[in-house]
Structure 1
């Protein structure tokens, strides 16, 4: 050794320089992703080491390294009197911290290792993977996780290429309640693994990560949420959309709407119910693919076919960072890798800034009727306009977004009507109630949803009704038997399947597509489809009896009038005296405890105090809001808004509940009089009041099929014409035009009076014909249901 000058017998060795890594960014930029040789000098805790990496024969670099995707229990300093950790105190090990450190020391301390650096956290600590040289079988992360000495670190697990294996190792320890999982109790709200798979048709894309699919087994619409994917939220009501929320929904809609997809439910999550409310159904989180094979992540389906991955690729969604004990999508690790690529490319949400804004001219609001009428002529001249069906209220009534015009409109198929479906309304106790619809109303709505909801359509506006709903034709594309796209007319499809009927006033000669629509309805009629299944034509004698039916005659005093030709006739003086004496016998006082607003329901019969004289009268609750009630005084015809303190219940023993109303609610038959939302409503109302208010009249009444006002013909005592004729001659009413024998008869009788009003060119006739055929159909339904009752 002396002769060879080895070791201490040789020349003085060159000094060896050991550097601490102060500039992490430059060091990482130089060696990130590369394999480095080094020695583990010190074990801080089970997942944090100090490494010594040689850079040359005389230079070494020393730095702290945290294992990627794994976090072991550490050491914590006790708190001092000020509530902060005491730097002078000895660190106290957390549960299983010593076990984890001992396991790492036995495997890695002072051993040669290979290190691959992945990055650094916000505090500058480097994280990466460590493997002992010459022993590829030992994976320190797997070793710690499988023995319950570590948990997954969700914030950087995406950088590891063994994330799936590490999650399986952690699950093994968690299920066995080993180590840190010794006292583990599953969260009752946590997701539950599921293995359900199905193939169904996409009916609606609610948002970028929420999709409604038609279940082929149950024939029900089921809502699925993309597993481990979060898209920006669409705003509710007046709330604005989050940046890129509409873009994400449109991206998914264009790829999936109307197509069959594979759905693999990854996990199901229960939503805890609020106190006193019905629990919500569990939410199903699924992987949804456009492919034809099952989604199992085993190569049968390419990752590019998964809609969640496609959203992440273009930066329109982010990947959810799950807790270690939560279930996740099968392709979760691929999602993370694709998200990193989108971040590096600065796509979509990752660009920074506020993002794109979308401005919509909402013409569906109640106060937009005037703007709709102003735009009606422009839309009629524009020809076919491209749009997207956003919502359906019935099978033939839609809410359409016009793409080029940037407007949202209400649109209804002209001359075609589907039955009304059932509705969910909020009851007085806050519980949703279902109100029944017309026969085949729900079936027609479901058929239209499957066929038209969120589809690209071309609409042609041909008119507008009184409430601002545009009328016309709508066409869309269906997939033909050979896979080709076929353009179809929405009205024709509904008629052919028996889910709609043509209006009674429909004339094929006035419509370019009239013959085809009539033929489609005739096809459904002959095949007994849908609405025609149990239809029987009326017999000749029944029609004759109905046409010759005589009206009921009554006399009384007109005590109130309203908009839309409403007249209230007080017919029973004796009944009115009985009501008055019964109310006086109740001895009502102001100091009585008033009814709570929640305990008063619409259509309830109550006692209400009239504000003008402070007296109590019988009333029916017509409407309510958060603080007030709108009541109708059934013996006098007038209405007003009152507070709940002015309402009392009718005692069960009182005869007030059994005495019929002393006032009849009537509407002028066979004519349209401007209602409260129409032009010239004030002029018509004032003329009606000046002509007949508080005057004796003789009334002919016909039975009404609905719960609303009774159609009537009113003649004042001693007058030479009816009230209807008077308004027609003034130009403040017009005849209803429908293709029925009864309407033709009325037109023959009252047509000359309407001609007098038309010749004045005043009010309704100021700009020519004021009507559209669809308005007459709506007017008949409106009169039958008693809508928009208002006093003057």
Structure 2
């Protein structure tokens, strides 16, 4: 307000008073206001204007603290009503005024008009007309029309008995002001966090205000919940020094709330300080202060903020990003990271501790991630480690540490999670940590899975605590308030670390190096409420992996090729997973030797299949020997990793070996369950049919007794499960592909058919009915000695014929030779013993695949004779006329 400055002393005769303008900041009483100018780079100048020629009652005053000779003085009658009349009319509005008189003490008297010019309402006249002020008649000059009008208005108010001229004296207008509250905490609690009407009477700084609570006239100091503005520091000499932006923050709050009608939610009263939130029709001042960079969030009072702590964090984050005011020099904790490094999806490979995991990035890199702002369980009373020789404590010795890690392991291991990096904790040297060994750089992040914040889940179960930070420490979780709220719930409910119950005890027996005789192995058992565990070394049977580097008496032994790859493969497959083991024997060191299974995958077989191990001769006596040999042969053919330099035996040797064999006709009964479009078929051994029927009956009985929860199964490729078929019954199946929850491709392992189902029709396979109890009963075969037509119509005719003749029927099957996909067999009808494949040849539905092996010569000749018969009769694919074999194309048609 450039014009709101002390009036210039002019020489006589004095000119007419100059018209000046400003904004009403405060109404001091019914006859005095403070007018401010427009801000120009900071709080504007202001001046007090007393209304000329009138007087309103004096407001109550509190005794001066520390001066016993002073005492509280109450309101004069109608004083508060006059102040309120004037406050509601002019506060925060533009007025114009003239200064008519200035006393030697500097007090200015003048006339105030509402609006930009003198055509607006005369404030003094309005007060007098309502009987809320009296006219100072002494010194009135009869030639002054303004003064004469005031006298006339007063006479009219008296005649109408308005305001202080009414009967009764006005004692009922005196407030019962309450400057203190006997028990502030009970007072706040009694309001149940309901909004209370109030008038803001004074602004101490941007976040601390004095409010008059209505209608009971409690005068209280309120600190805004969740934030803190820069303050004015009181010096030893009594003066005040403003912190940076303190004056601006104060003006920001004053210009919006001072002497405004507001609602206050009184939220808490710790240490006699009332915390609250002030609500105004134009907005929440707490959020506005944060958004404009006039305040920062405060953890200790954020917990009681009832309007949503996330709104305050978002407002503060906005100010930080824009670097406004107190955040002008702000540097984000992740400012040096690219977006792809701040947020990414990764697979959890290992749970290191209750607050640290190892994840695998899309690039294949492994990275350790620490959960932001939480601390894993510690021994009670444990202080920071200042002893360099302090021994490592296993997690079983620390209460709830085992439970915390187990919680993470079961929730995360092997699953994909969303990682949002909150900050990078710089490495610390031994000097910085008071002699403690240095910590390397840590990537601290918020990790979520399925929308669940893992750190918050840990804290809510009492399996971790929340780290408290200095107020200026910005390196914290982006969901810090949720963590604090979760910890408060855990404390209230007595969960985990906050429980008063007896701490669980875990006893671990290391049985490595000991000799035992047993029929089964258990990893955990409960005895007198103490959990007992066994720990041992386990050696995979039947394979020989490349050795890694190790210290030997003669020096460091160099690692064999692909040893590191084999180790990584095994870690990613089984580390911290729940597995099943078959123990066959022990080595000289007392280590168990056997077979390890994870989700129906045999680790030994998996290593061999991936060319990271070779079959050991000791596998010959195992039931997995053939599977291992088949896996090794497949790996050899790919010529990768361990088999990169593999040389096949000369074909002459193979042919000679083959010629020495004789065809073995050993037919067995099978039941054909499915025919594919490529003329492959699936069959069950009749011999094991009763086992399958028994298993299905038991499985369906268990499912009927305990139906699976719909939608609880999350299918993954390769998972074994149970699937509800169109007949409403459940069958064992394997997931082959997951397009979406509504489109899951499954293969029925006991029947050979495939189907696309919704995940709601799938459920976990009960362990009692796994493939280890009974292997998949549907085996894939194809017909020996025949070629399937490439033409779609011709192939469909052949398939239709086979479906009509053998599907869902019992036949006799004989293995003839192996194939790249499945065994090639001959199939006979159970009653007539006629060869099914030969019948297809004779009907002209397929062509003959001529095999060169000598022991198959008789069978091939019989098939070729049948083909010649079909040609002569011009059946099906031969119906276009006579021609030689070399004159036919791949479809069986003449060129």
Q: TM-score, length-normalised on structure 1? A: 0.51
Alpha-carbon distance in 2 for matches of 1:15, 1:143: 33
Distance verdict in 2 for CA 1:496–1:143, change over 3 Å: closer
Alpha-carbon distance in 2 for matches of 1:244, 1:202: 22
CA contact 1:386–1:404 (8 Å) conserved in 2: no
Which SS does the other structure have where 1:508 is aligned? helix
Alpha-carbon distance in 1 for matches of 2:551, 2:248: 60
TM-fit CA distance, 1:514: 4.1
Which of 532, 540, 547 lines up with 2:643 in the alignment? Answer: 532
Does 2:72 correspond to 1:72? Answer: no
Distance verdict in 2 for CA 1:536–1:188, change over 3 Å: same
Distance verdict in 2 for CA 1:152–1:331, change over 3 Å: closer
Which of 157, 161, 171 lines up with 2:302 in the alignment? Answer: 157
Does 2:290 correspond to 1:145? Answer: yes
Does 2:455 correspond to 1:308? Answer: yes
With CA pairs under 8 Å and 6+ residues apart, which has the higher RCO, 1 or 2? 1
Which SS does the other structure have where 1:454 is aligned? coil
TM-fit CA distance, 1:306: 3.7
Does 2:608 correspond to 1:501? Answer: no
Alpha-carbon distance in 2 for matches of 1:489, 1:267: 41
Distance verdict in 2 for CA 1:412–1:204, change over 3 Å: same
Instruction: Give the alignment of 1:256-655 within 5 angstroms.
Output: 256-272=412-428, 283-291=442-450, 303=451, 305-320=452-467, 326=474, 331-351=479-499, 355-363=503-511, 369=513, 372-373=514-515, 376-377=516-517, 381-386=518-523, 405-422=532-549, 436-477=558-599, 487-504=600-617, 506=618, 508-509=620-621, 511-535=622-646
Distance verdict in 2 for CA 1:124–1:243, change over 3 Å: farther
CA contact 1:269–1:282 (8 Å) conserved in 2: yes
| 333-342 or 22-31, which deviates more | 333-342
Distance verdict in 2 for CA 1:355–1:280, change over 3 Å: closer
Deviation digits for residues 222-277 of structure 1, max 9, x if unmatched? 2223344544369983355543222222112112212233334444444356799x
Aligned equivalent of 1:238: 393
CA contact 2:229–2:246 (8 Å) conserved in 1: yes
Which SS does the other structure have where 1:361 is aligned? strand
Which SS does the other structure have where 1:156 is aligned? helix
Which SS does the other structure have where 2:568 is aligned? helix
Distance verdict in 2 for CA 1:495–1:146, change over 3 Å: closer
CA contact 1:32–1:119 (8 Å) conserved in 2: no
| 228-237 or 434-443, which deviates more | 228-237
Aligned equivalent of 1:606: none
Distance verdict in 2 for CA 1:282–1:78, change over 3 Å: same
TM-fit CA distance, 1:128: 1.7
Alpha-carbon distance in 1 for matches of 2:418, 2:504: 32
Question: Which consecutive unaligned segments of at least 5 residues does structure 1 have?
Answer: 80-87, 292-302, 389-402, 426-432, 478-486, 540-792
Deviation digits for residues 546-588 of structure 1, max 9, x if unmatched? xxxxxxxxxxxxxxxxxxxxxxxxxxxxxxxxxxxxxxxxxxx
CA contact 1:130–1:140 (8 Å) conserved in 2: yes
Which SS does the other structure have where 1:247 is aligned? helix
Instruction: Give the alignment of 1:725-736 within 5 angstroms.
Output: none
Distance verdict in 2 for CA 1:233–1:455, change over 3 Å: farther
Aligned equivalent of 2:180: 20
TM-fit CA distance, 1:449: 0.9
Deviation digits for residues 50-75 of structure 1, max 9, x if unmatched? 22213x5xx33333221112112334
Distance verdict in 2 for CA 1:534–1:328, change over 3 Å: same
Alpha-carbon distance in 2 for matches of 1:187, 1:264: 14
Which SS does the other structure have where 2:272 is aligned? coil
Distance verdict in 2 for CA 1:248–1:502, change over 3 Å: same
TM-fit CA distance, 1:490: 2.1
Which of 252, 255, 264 lines up with 2:408 in the alignment? Answer: 252
Deviation digits for residues 156-190 of structure 1, max 9, x if unmatched? 334444544544544555566654446x4649999
Which of 249, 261, 281 lines up with 1:100 in the alignment? Answer: 249
Alpha-carbon distance in 1 for matches of 2:566, 2:524: 21
Distance verdict in 2 for CA 1:19–1:363, change over 3 Å: farther
TM-fit CA distance, 1:418: 1.9
TM-fit CA distance, 1:406: 1.0
TM-fit CA distance, 1:92: 4.5
Give the alignment's Cα RMSD to 1 decimal: 4.2
Alpha-carbon distance in 1 for matches of 2:339, 2:524: 38
Number of aligned residue pairs: 467
TM-fit CA distance, 1:355: 4.3
Distance verdict in 2 for CA 1:519–1:171, change over 3 Å: closer
Alpha-carbon distance in 1 for matches of 2:324, 2:348: 44
Does 2:165 correspond to 1:52? Answer: no
Distance verdict in 2 for CA 1:476–1:91, change over 3 Å: same
Which SS does the other structure have where 1:534 is aligned? coil
Which SS does the other structure have where 2:217 is aligned? strand
Distance verdict in 2 for CA 1:494–1:230, change over 3 Å: same
CA contact 1:71–1:150 (8 Å) conserved in 2: yes
Alpha-carbon distance in 2 for matches of 1:250, 1:316: 10
Alpha-carbon distance in 2 for matches of 1:405, 1:517: 35
CA contact 2:461–2:495 (8 Å) conserved in 1: yes
Deviation digits for residues 27-51 of structure 1, max 9, x if unmatched? 2322242111112233333211222
Alpha-carbon distance in 2 for matches of 1:473, 1:337: 47
Alpha-carbon distance in 2 for matches of 1:507, 1:149: 74
Which of 168, 191, 195 lines up with 1:10 in the alignment? Answer: 168
Question: Which consecutive unaligned segments of at least 5 residues does structure 2 have?
Answer: 1-156, 380-389, 651-895
Deviation digits for residues 577-620 of structure 1, max 9, x if unmatched? xxxxxxxxxxxxxxxxxxxxxxxxxxxxxxxxxxxxxxxxxxxx
CA contact 1:191–1:270 (8 Å) conserved in 2: no
CA contact 1:20–1:62 (8 Å) conserved in 2: yes
CA contact 1:45–1:97 (8 Å) conserved in 2: yes
TM-fit CA distance, 1:445: 0.5
Which SS does the other structure have where 1:473 is aligned? strand
Alpha-carbon distance in 2 for matches of 1:410, 1:453: 13
CA contact 1:195–1:266 (8 Å) conserved in 2: no
Which SS does the other structure have where 1:248 is aligned? helix
Which SS does the other structure have where 2:560 is aligned? coil
